[in-house]
Amino acid sequence: MNKAVEIRKLEETATLAGGPALPTLRFLTCGSVDDGKSTLIGRLLYEQDLIHDDQLAALERDSKRHGTVGAEIDFALLVDGLEAEREQGITIDVAYRAFSTARRSFIVADTPGHEQYTRNMATGASNCDLAVLLVDSRKGLLAQTHRHAIIVSLLGIKHVVLAINKIDLVDYDQAVFERIVGAFQAFAAPLGFSSLAAIPVSARFGDNICRKSGNMGWYDGPPLLAYLEEISVEENRAALPFRMPVQWVNRPHLDFRGFAGTIASGRIGRGQDVVVAVSGKSTRVERIVTADGDLDMASAGDAVTLTLSDEIDIARGDVLATADARPEVADQFAANLIWMGDDELLPGRSYLMKVGTRTIPVTVSAVKHRLDVTTLAEHPAKTLRLNEVGLCMLTTPAPIAFDPYAENRVTGAFILIDRYTNATAAAGLIAYGVHQATNVHAQNLAVTKAARARLKHQRPAVLWFTGLSGAGKSTIANLVDQQLNARGVHTILLDGDNIRTGLNKDLDFSPADRVENIRRIGEVAKLMTDAGLIVLCAFISPFTAERQMVRDILDEGEFIEIFVNTPLEQCIARDPKGLYKKALAGEIKNFTGIDQAYEAPESPELVVGHDGASPHQSSARVIAYLVEQRFIERFDTGDWSI
């Protein structure tokens, strides 16, 4: 089940369970592996008589099979539902549970403690208002304890309960408790939590879970459940400035045009002025339409359709705001990234950014620093790896509307998506927008690209030859270049090895530098097309995302991807530079086709080299394509037009 749908169903269940006075509290349990998170939740539910008889019977059976506490009931198994979780005794996925007491309804997310599943923990934390951070009394604070505290802080959770668990295993020692609390308070001071309560507990035996323990006369605070029942964590999103990301343009017939979405923050009333954040176009709200009829006023959390007094251009992904409190609009911004991808972050690579209801390409232009989860020190870094956290600079091809995450958790959050695998690469939290220096302005050129191309009797284009080393890219590109030159076509050939002797001689062959290599070449190729040239580029360019990045910066139709599809075995047999021999011997690392994957184009404009054709035959196919698509004139008739 989709996690968002699951949470909504749990909210409905919690609301129907009784009539608590305070709003539903959404909290998570987190901390290092085996600190007792699942056991704590299981014990809490057990002591509140919230486990049905059949569930309890099943739990007793499972405890005999998978339990780790002898003949006793292993309460961790109540929420560790996956077979792999029970076999390994760890939490892998996020498990949600809803329950109610006479005072309050709760939704708890049991998140994994293992470092490998930190991304799952961040997912669970993103919907919570309070974190119960567990610490094993015997081990004290661990690296994962620090990492989870930092993620909790970055995600805007301001309330933390430090549950010092397994206190029974240190003989309920007050000194152990106070030592751990003092160390955590010192570590967490810069994180800016609004409340931090420390409670000594034994999840296994129920000490200070639902009722005061008689084993710790020195502790005069409340048990965990009583504290959770009373704490006020409500964030009044209705008091924030009005924001509504447009999810859908509702046009059932010619007489109705509305803009549907869920109000992220603030309030909006009928007759109130609003603006489209990016374009700045203003209008007025005529109607607030819902499934239950029109409203005079709507606020944060309401799903509505707004009809407006003026016909202005609004599409899915636009953000509506009030004119007197607009969000930031920028195409460059700084954001904290929690890296979730198995592949490391590659600055310069193009990812997809999903912010609100809008999905847009984005480039991580630089990593400012990586955060040390033990000391909170900021270390210089060129990349981020799985579970690392860092401040990065990002650039989008068009401006987006946002608020800093510290001001608005809805409009300041986003995810990065790998364009090739479609997997979530990172969770992002916008820190601030970056505005370009006021003394930098794009210069309008009197002589346009079209005018320069017209003088040359050709249409500008980039012929991008991609394929394995030894596939024949440079050979075919050189033949095409010669034939075009003989026709009087104005060209320039950019070859991988030649570029690396000059412009890119500071780059190596690591994944990050491969991306930067292609980014620079793409920018050079764009400048060449502005001069009206046909640019031939012969590069391995193994990553789909980088080839797409070059395509995106060029005008529509200018990027012609030519896949030189020579089989790896044939490339190894050719080995014109002896590189495969060295790579197979381990003398060259990150060599494409050997220990570096090559992502073949899925829908290139041309495929050559796969059917036994000679380089001359392949080059003739490229020339024929250029004539057919009217990039160059026919040699025999001179028939050509832009």
Q: CB of 369 within 8 A of CB of 376?
A: no
Tell the residue number behind the tokens 């090739």, with chain if given. 420
Residue 229, token pair as written in the block = 């029942």
Half-sphere exposure of 98 (CA within 13 A, CB side): 15
What is the DSSP-derived secondary structure letter of residue 326?
Answer: P
- The Cα–Cα gap between 620 and 466 comes to 17
Kindly tell me the burial class for residue 236, based on how many C-beta atoms sit within 10 Å of its own C-beta (0-12, 13-18, 19 or more).
exposed
Active-site residue identified among 105, 137, 213, 541: 541
Residues 205 and 75: beta-carbon distance below 8 Å: no
Measured CA to CA, the distance from residue 98 to residue 112 in angstroms comes to 18
The CA distances from residue 619 to 460, 476, 602, 613, in Å, are: 18, 6, 21, 10
What's 121's DSSP letter?
Answer: H
Strands 95-100 and 105-110: antiparallel
Active site residue 282: no
The vertex-358 CA angle with 355 and 359, nearest 5°, equals 85
Closest of 480, 469, 476 to residue 571, by C-alpha: 469
Query: Residue 424: CB partners within 8 Å, gap ≥ 6?
Result: 119, 340, 341, 415, 416, 417, 418
**CA angle at residue 491 from 485 to 494, to 5 degrees?**
120
| Nearest-angstrom CA–CA distance, 326 and 334 | 19
Report the distance separating Cα 24 and Cα 420, nearest Å.
Answer: 39
Distances (CA, A) of 202 to 64, 143, 163, 166, 513: 21, 22, 9, 5, 51
HEC string for 363-413: EEEEEEEEECCCCCCEECCCCCCCCCEEEEEEEEEEEEEECCCCCCCCCCE
| Residue spans of alpha helices (H) in 126-198 | 143-154, 174-188
Q: Is residue 538 within 8 Å of 525, Cβ to Cβ?
A: no
Query: What is the enclosing helix (H) or strand (E) of 584?
Result: helix 579-584
The conformational region for residue 422 under phi > 0 = left, psi -120 to 50 = alpha, else beta, is left
Amino acid at 366: A
> Which positions ≥6 away from 284 have C-beta within 8 Å?
271, 272, 273, 274, 308, 309, 310
Interatomic CA distance for residues 61 and 168, integer angstroms: 26
Rounded-to-integer distance, Cα 403 and Cα 136, Å = 38
What whole-number distance in Å separates Cα of residue 241 and Cα of residue 266? 5
As annotated, the active-site residues are 541
